[in-house]
Amino acid sequence: MTLNSQFINLNKKIINCKKCVRLVAFRKKIAKEKRKQYINEKYWGKPITGFGDTSGEILLIGLAPAAHGGNRTGRVFTGDRSADFLYKCLYKAKMSNQPTSENKNDGLKLYNTYVTTALKCVPPGDKPTLLELRTCFNHFKQEIDLLRNVKIIVALGKIAFDACIQFYKETYFLKNKDYLFAHAAKYQLPDKKILLGCYHPSPRNVNTGRINEKKMTHLFRKVLKLA
């Protein structure tokens, strides 16, 4: 079976997953109620799969789809302000073919990069339970196993970083104190992959000046040199 076929099968499993009752109810609720500005759009309202170059050496990981971003458009980091900022920086770093991510049919391509989330469904308050994360780690593990060329994992935000460490703790003995989140913090994981921390491209972080285009683009250029 080709790599593409394996990903098609995995993505079908992810999209059809209904294991977490709370998450299924919440994603459907969001898709039904909608945000006023998207009232005439049909929301995706299902789990979100990864996106990008399945042979890539760089993996970007977020915590979960955004309620009115990925949960609406059906693609991770698409259709919200976090996506707007992220793709400006990826484009400047020459990791994408365009500086915008608006919908599944916008022609976006990633270079040597795959982007996914630790949790495939939007959680209430952006706070998944440990059980929900562990349940979803089965999907994430299958993604990691198929992404055979990945050398570097960039965790977008502390919660995604902590989720990544929790994922590795399911297989390896890791101490949290040895993996502390900070922007541009670099660690070697037990399977020899490199893990980098990165501030989340959220409007809050951008508006407060915690992260800016220069700082994030610089980190992505650093990632390219490490790959």
* CATH code of 114's domain: 3.40.470.10
Which of 54-58, 134-138, 167-171, 202-206 has the largest mean confidence? 54-58
Extract the tokens encoding 198: 């990165």
Give pLDDT, residue 170: 85
Tell me the pTM: 0.94
Q: Give the HSE-up count for residue 87: Cα atoms under 13 Å, Cβ half-sphere.
A: 23
Whole domain around residue 17: which residue ranges?
3-226
23 pLDDT higher than 90: yes
pLDDT confidence bin for 7, thresholds 50/70/90: very high
- Of how many residues is the chain composed? 227
- The 3-state DSSP class for residue 196 equals strand
The number of folded domains in the chain is: 1
Beta bridge partners of 196: 154, 186
d(C-alpha 20, C-alpha 29), whole Å: 14
Give pLDDT, residue 89: 98
| Range name among 49-53, 79-83, 107-111, 173-177 with the lowest pLDDT average | 173-177
pLDDT confidence bin for 3, thresholds 50/70/90: confident
| Radius of gyration of the chain from its Cα atoms, rounded to whole angstroms | 16
